[in-house]
Structure 1
């Protein structure tokens, strides 16, 4: 490494040079200067909470049993108030702590900014603390007083770097005791937990446990996966999207739109784009609406799949085929192959496939395998001194243990979690997939789909089946008629004279030409030409004919891509900036109103900010029972893509159009660039689904696609 002299060092610090490489770009400066608009009921320095009795929930009995103190909370609406009681409530000095929990999501800093501004507006003596490194900071007492200078440096910026984040869960009595002790020692009046479904589950139990101490707990819906959606018992939407979703989806969409352009330019690759979303496919759906890729697979649709052809065949045999219910890996690979073959026939042996990260969880046979393996691992960990992955540290040892379990099940003739049929299926899958299925579970006992190369598994099957279709003469690249004619004419050959011998669709004008299914090699090509008298036996095939044939031979090449962490760390869109800032102010309004065990939400997000409605929704009402580490636990319910929703139906309706298995350019869409000075965009899924609820049509929905 070369040394820089002191004189040269000074040269590089000249103002002209430093202005070019300054750490703050023009957009960075514009973001710091941006002031998000505030919805009407939050503009006032004084607010109060009123019950919104028109919104009701079906409360799970287990929520009532485990969270009795907060279970009967009503939905609350934040309204403007200038009365003496509101003045006293809002103006009382408070010490509020906020913590980020789980993965980052664009907009988190604006939740802090909104909370901080509202708190200081009500009483300049208020204090806002940030627990550091996520919930670990609560347990260990790690915190940082937040100043205006700190907050101003992070306004409208991405990441959670101001106080950072972590995945520690307050899920034991000891951690709960330590958290209570920390909050009491610091004199915390209210604790704000910004996180996803698991973090808000923690918020509910903290609210229950800190209630007697007079410490309020408020949750904030954060996840780029978009699986925190709140509807009441009548289907009214109270939280249509979690913050960070829009930014991440656009970040992925801009990259995937570029791949659509690249694919159509280089005409030789299929780009396989896996986007984050372990449990739900919301991001994949939004990306599809934003970019119009060649093919998009939505996991929730696969889960409801029924193979009508197999059912019909079984009925004709007088049988019932239960395996026809639910998508299999093999059948899914066939669906992808069909799309590839159709486009190749149109002369397009390239494309862009979008799949959600958790696609395999919606494949029935894989889901059963994951559930069984997760149960086995959880049972082993619970009943032995050492953990499963500690004792069986490699694939051979793990497979041997499973083999013994299957043999024992067969020998005892009893129903075991793992039987010989399970093991036979497991034995048939590739080793790298076995390793993925047996990988250590996360802190909740969940299978970690991000550790599995879903695209590699799926596309391995696709490649195998494409080879079969190629051998059968069904997978061929369509030939442009004008190019074909030009190649033959330059060699003095009659295009029309050869066309009927070579092509199965020679009589259909304007279509790409497809070689006959029987012509699958140079040998069969030679035979066809000799048979029709266009070539003497033993003579060489004309170079022009060989050139055309080689052009028709498909060469499937794929490029895998994963979109996840880049979207989490993106700077928030104007929508997410404004949304999160108003969420932060909503949090303070809930605290000032005395609420606890509530999640801050904003209704009518599809409308103009002036029509947004800040509210508090009872966390307990969002809970259900779910298996965690082999046991049933009360957790917040994740919301999947509704296959009956307008957004999904648009995707289905446009599927053939976007597949574009025809001559001509693909109808790909380029999402708008995100600039703070530009028009405020919104998630297309949000706008489309709102159009079906009687909500007023927003200007942004006039030209959605």
Structure 2
């Protein structure tokens, strides 16, 4: 395989570990804290997770590990969408296993969770792992979105893990994947199996986080990749001085990516979905706010600008959120009948008749192309596929209409020309930043120590991330501590609660203290490409969000 010079050089990078994990394994001691509850719905969750609910938070400190050199066979699976650093999690697992015993083995399940159900796996050797270390992507073993959630699937998974003589299974995934891992851990214990199930927090969206999981891996690299592109567009906008660029960014359930990119690049406008919902803003109000900024800049002769739009915005607008909720329930309850409606006109007519009056009005007032997108195929949870809704194009169209109105009222005399962009896949498989390379390697290494102490039902936790890697803290938190109950496909189900942007948090407060200036002026910041060599402030700095949260 032909390799770039950067790829060759990245193989030589030695990821850093927290000082406690850098010690010999026999000197790492387990410390247990108090028993835990859940993020919500404790009574219901304690009944679903009768064997694994209420486990304590654990940490690792200097001391004694009597299990350090136990021979282990560990399985690993990548689940869900790609995120930079996944290969380093696997490298960390492999190196920790080798540090414990040369006879330990790492089994990689191919193609995601389906690899477990189909017993499709390979032995991951040093030669395989070393050819992927510090690189982006999940192509070492592949990933997939198959869910292990039924009793038959649990049974099959246990049989395969027993056949492979696994001591532990490490699930690398986001909130849904780790929710399934929690259910699998519960099933294994219920079946008197001592196979540990351990999770690793992965999602570029940044919505798998709490006090103990400060950030999910991939967020740092993805936001730095997007910010480089946004900075390039800002430079172009400020050079050509003739386009308004509307940029949609990944992040359906939360606006962490949009907020982080705004802090890095200082665009003229950045919409934060959580603020829209808290203020109960209508779509019309959002359009008017954007138009007002366009008018203000035009008065200064600046007929250009940059607008950041979170992917999931439309679901946070209260009136549209209610519409989507009704659509999700309506279509889930009438799947077969809806599938018989062959034309959009028939679908729209039936939907309008069965929605509430308010939601029917909202649906009818939306542009035709948005109506069509709302009725497209559902995602695996039975919900609207928000990523298919071209929110940025909708805003451009509606802002253009608003500016035309203002022109007729002689309140606007500028020129509005627009460009639209969607940054998503560009950030999912980038070469991981030094931060993500170190963080992911530490998460994987830490997962093996959890397995040595036979801690099932835990997610690997590395904290204190705003400081240098040597000062990071290692441990684990129970899956159930992060969970609540949510309605999915018409049923109440246990899920890991998504973390939204906190409007009283330091990152958002820093943003709102500056955004009026950014709206008026072209105060753009150009982060440039991710750097791997050089001063710490250039190549090892954490995200703005992490730095502000721990300032």
Q: TM-score, normalised by structure 2?
A: 0.96
From 63, 67, 73, the equivalent of 1:81 is 63
Alpha-carbon distance between aligned partners in 2 of 1:364 and 1:681, rounded to the nearest angstrom? 37
The answer to whether the 8 A contact 2:225-2:529 is kept is no
1:200–1:285 distance in 2 versus 1, CA, 3 Å: same
1:376 and 2:330 equivalent? yes
The answer to whether the 8 A contact 2:80-2:174 is kept is yes
The answer to whether the 8 A contact 2:37-2:480 is kept is no
Alpha-carbon distance between aligned partners in 1 of 2:3 and 2:337, rounded to the nearest angstrom? 48
Gaps of at least 5 residues in structure 2 are none
Aligned to 2:13: 34
1:456 and 2:393 equivalent? yes
Alpha-carbon distance between aligned partners in 1 of 2:90 and 2:359, rounded to the nearest angstrom? 50
Shift of 1:55: 7.8
Alpha-carbon distance between aligned partners in 1 of 2:288 and 2:439, rounded to the nearest angstrom? 42
Aligned to 2:287: 333
CA deviations 1:514-538 (Å, max 9, x no partner) are: xxxxxxxxxxxxxxxxxxxxxxxxx
CA deviations 1:67-86 (Å, max 9, x no partner) are: 1111121000022334xxx2
**Secondary structure, in 3 states, of the residue corresponding to 2:34?**
coil
Alpha-carbon distance between aligned partners in 1 of 2:337 and 2:532, rounded to the nearest angstrom? 50
The answer to whether the 8 A contact 2:254-2:312 is kept is yes
Aligned to 2:230: 256
After TM superposition, the structure 1 = structure 2 runs for residues 338-487 of structure 1, keeping only pairs within 5 Å, are 338-381=292-335, 386=336, 388=338, 390-405=339-354, 418-476=355-413
Aligned to 2:209: 229
From 670, 680, 685, the equivalent of 2:526 is 670
Aligned to 1:11: none
Alpha-carbon distance between aligned partners in 2 of 1:453 and 1:160, rounded to the nearest angstrom? 27
1:590–1:255 distance in 2 versus 1, CA, 3 Å: same
Shift of 1:603: 1.0
Alpha-carbon distance between aligned partners in 1 of 2:217 and 2:132, rounded to the nearest angstrom? 17
Aligned to 2:260: 286
Alpha-carbon distance between aligned partners in 2 of 1:670 and 1:611, rounded to the nearest angstrom? 30
The answer to whether the 8 A contact 1:48-1:589 is kept is no
Alpha-carbon distance between aligned partners in 2 of 1:296 and 1:81, rounded to the nearest angstrom? 48
After TM superposition, the structure 1 = structure 2 runs for residues 530-679 of structure 1, keeping only pairs within 5 Å, are 554-661=414-521, 666-678=522-534, 679=536
Shift of 1:598: 0.3
Alpha-carbon distance between aligned partners in 1 of 2:79 and 2:2, rounded to the nearest angstrom? 28
Q: TM-score, normalised by structure 1?
A: 0.75
1:67 and 2:49 equivalent? yes
1:102 and 2:56 equivalent? no
Alpha-carbon distance between aligned partners in 2 of 1:55 and 1:669, rounded to the nearest angstrom? 43
Shift of 1:24: 2.2
The answer to whether the 8 A contact 1:78-1:590 is kept is no
> What is the Cα-based RMSD across aligned positions, in Å?
1.5
The answer to whether the 8 A contact 2:293-2:520 is kept is no
Which portions of structure 1, spanning 4 or more consecutive aligned residues, are displaced by more than 6 angstroms?
none
Shift of 1:672: 4.7
Please identify the structure whose Cα radius of gyration is greater.
1
The answer to whether the 8 A contact 2:35-2:56 is kept is no
Which stretch shows the higher mean deviation, 558-567 or 439-448?
A: 439-448
Shift of 1:387: 6.4
Shift of 1:27: 1.6
CA deviations 1:174-219 (Å, max 9, x no partner) are: 2112111111111111000000000000010000011221110000
